[in-house]
Amino acid sequence: GAGLGAAPRASCRLGSSRGARAAPGSAVPRPPRPVPGSYKCRPSLPSLGARRAERPAVQSMALNTNLRGRLPVICLVLQVVMVVLFGVFVRYDIQADARWWLEKKLKNISSDIENDFYYRYSSFQDVHAMVFVGFGFLMTFLQRYGFSAVGFNFLLAAFGIQWALLMQGWFRFFEEGHIILSVENIIEADFCVASTCVAFGAVLGKISPVQLLIMTFFQVTLFAVNEYIILYLIEAKDAGGSMTIHTFGAYFGLTVTWILYRKNLEQSKRRQSSVYHSDLFAMIGTLFLWIYWPSFNSASCSHGDTQHRAALNTYLSLAASVLTTVAVSSVIHKKGRLDMVHIQNATLAGGVGVGTAAEMMLTPYGALIVGFFCGIFSTLGFAYLTPFLESRLRIQDTCGIHNLHGIPGIIGGIVGAVTAAYSSPDIYGEPGLVHSFGFGGYKADWTKKLQGRSQIFSLLLTLAIALVGGIIVGLILKLPFWGQAADENCFEDSIYWEGPALSPQIPEEVNSVYMPEDLTHKHSSPPVPSMPLVLPTPSASLVAPVPPTPPQLQYLHHPWYTKLPRQVRSSLEAAESRVKGKGHVRKADLGEYQSQTVSIAAGVSLGAGKLQQAWLHRLSPSSRRRWSNLARDSGAGQLKGLLTWTQHLPHPLLPRGLA
């Protein structure tokens, strides 16, 4: 395209010339003749190493992330294995079998209302929506990773529920050589998959779908083992999964991302952020999770008072965490503003923290206290702990699962242990105490203090299995042939997805201005026509000859210019008038002026104006921060922040320019 930079330098031993592309229709200056006796001047070609270094990072993604041979194979192999194992082991429960009519007759059941389906399916629907919609959309906050957040969550959950039905079935629902399948099984499978969704949040944007399937396979296996030990061997209580789901998933995922540490992830930081609409989609996920969390914590409880109590405790704890999250988020900001990250995540911490004790006699005010403190600790974790973990401990937690699931999960385990240890017949009644904790029979000598100790031991065991398992799985995923992206290409949908709106990020070149027509991929907005400008190079004084005085800046008469907002046109025309009034213009000053105006126009045409050009890199850190904040606030098509920022720029035609 015209106007994309200076022509290559020409070199010779006794004379040299440097040229640049000129505007169409203008005379192209001829290079001076070589001095007699010198070698013939010719453009010097860059070395092979230099040409390799100049290749943009996006060109390497096909070399590293082509999954055409790997992803189909692993998906098909896993599904075929599932079909075989289900055919061998899985059978319907009697309430789902065609022989149910005979069972009703033998047990003198007159109606199908006794079928467990009618009691549990509504809870299953809520949990199912949380796994596929809630967790999926909660992770769409990244500006260029929405397809992967929802799509890969869909993939891991679809495989995870099948493998969980088998693993949990072999441990918990195995009768006479078969796994008995009922609505209770699919609820428990969704709980298991919820733990994998939690771990996915730690590695979001940094692993391939092949790695994700492998991680899901091992995590579901470890989850089933840990759950069986805690709930059936130790006989701890964990109705809402504060320990088995949230704590296990969080610290498993954190350990995996610690092993998969990417030292050059800073090169992708520009994409590890949100835009207005991506945060709005993530908030949809938050609301789904918040609304359905009472069903999540009560779905596995026994019918009657236990399930009723679990839903009420969760309801109250969630409400309390919202108010404390808003309060703390406003307090820690110097201008009292709210952070959308806190509202999207920490408002859910109350549901996590009350999970273990949800079925216990926590009391309504006790549930509010749990939500109160979970909201505080979760919000402070997002503000202060996540940056510390990344900078000091090399834990790159994309979604901040440590703050939403890890810390509240530990709080929930401790609350459950304390509540169990201080249970008494005065609170539960003798029959209620036996019913809630299973005291009696072979547990006749079981005391409330012993129950509290078993709760604490279960929490510690969960942490141990999660950490050790995460290290092993992380080392497996660290192998280089799983199709993972390079550090500079993380958090990018276009690596694994095809779509009309998935164009690569504009390379951050310091010495070039990239316009939309330079991209090889399609873009959702119409391209802006090329501008016949001579743009500056680092050696600004070597730009093509200055136009005659007064300078005629030809881009003001091009069709794309008429499409700019009136405020932008007025600003550029006023600047042109000041240029004409000087009577003479330095080459460097004119180049800086052209670079600035082209960059502003290109930024406007692309939406939020986030192109980082040569002049942006020359600004002071405070000016760059002002640009980033205002460009972010402006949003697509909103020019207010962009125009406000340009008013703070020094005039580019001052003698010292912008340098």
Amino acid 275 reads V
Angle at Cα 355 formed by Cα 451 and Cα 393, nearest 5°? 95
Q: How far apart are CA 411 and CA 409, in angstroms?
A: 5
What is the per-residue pLDDT for 108? Answer: 79
218 phi-psi bin (left φ>0, alpha ψ -120 to 50, beta other): alpha
Nearest residue to 346 (alpha-carbon basis) of 385, 394, 301, 297? 385
Amino acid 632 reads R
What is the per-residue pLDDT for 529? Answer: 41
What is the b/e burial string over 341-374, where b = at least 16 CB atoms within 10 angstroms of the residue's CB? Answer: bbbbbbbbbbbbbbbbbbbbbbeeebbbbbbbbb
- Four-CA torsion 452, 456, 457, 461, nearest 10 degrees: 150
Residues 6+ apart with CB under 8 A from 523: 501, 503, 516
Confidence of residue 614 (pLDDT cuts 50, 70, 90): very low
pTM of the model: 0.69
Nearest residue to 136 (alpha-carbon basis) of 147, 120, 123, 149? 149
DSSP 548: S
pLDDT at 299 over 50: yes
Positions of CATH 1.10.3430.10 in the chain: 81-262+277-493
Q: Tokens 């509540």 identify what position?
A: 419
For the residues 359-372, what does the mean pLDDT come to? Answer: 96
Residues 6+ apart with CB under 8 A from 165: 86, 90, 179, 181, 185, 186, 189
Confidence of residue 48 (pLDDT cuts 50, 70, 90): very low
Output the DSSP codes for 174-237.
EETTEEEE-HHHHHHHHHHHHHHHHHHHHHTTTS-HHHHHHHHHHHHHHHHHHHHIIIIIS---
Angle at Cα 541 formed by Cα 538 and Cα 546, nearest 5°? 125
What is the per-residue pLDDT for 604? Answer: 45
Judged by average pLDDT, the poorest of 43-47, 219-223, 426-430 is 43-47
Bigger pLDDT: 622 vs 131: 131
- pLDDT tens per residue, range 267-283: 888 888 899 999 999 99
What is the per-residue pLDDT for 531? Answer: 40
Does residue 274 sit in helix, strand or coil?
A: coil
Q: How far apart are CA 513 and CA 605, in angstroms?
A: 13
Topology (CATH) of 81-262+277-493: Ammonium transporter fold (1.10.3430)
pLDDT at 294 over 60: yes
pLDDT at 32 over 80: no
Residues 6+ apart with CB under 8 A from 606: 516, 525
pLDDT at 331 over 50: yes
What is the b/e burial string over 399-413, where b = at least 16 CB atoms within 10 angstroms of the residue's CB? Answer: bbbbbbbbbbbbbbb
Q: How far apart are CA 316 and CA 311, in angstroms?
A: 9
Q: Find out whether 41 and 16 touch, Cβ atoms under 8 Å.
A: yes
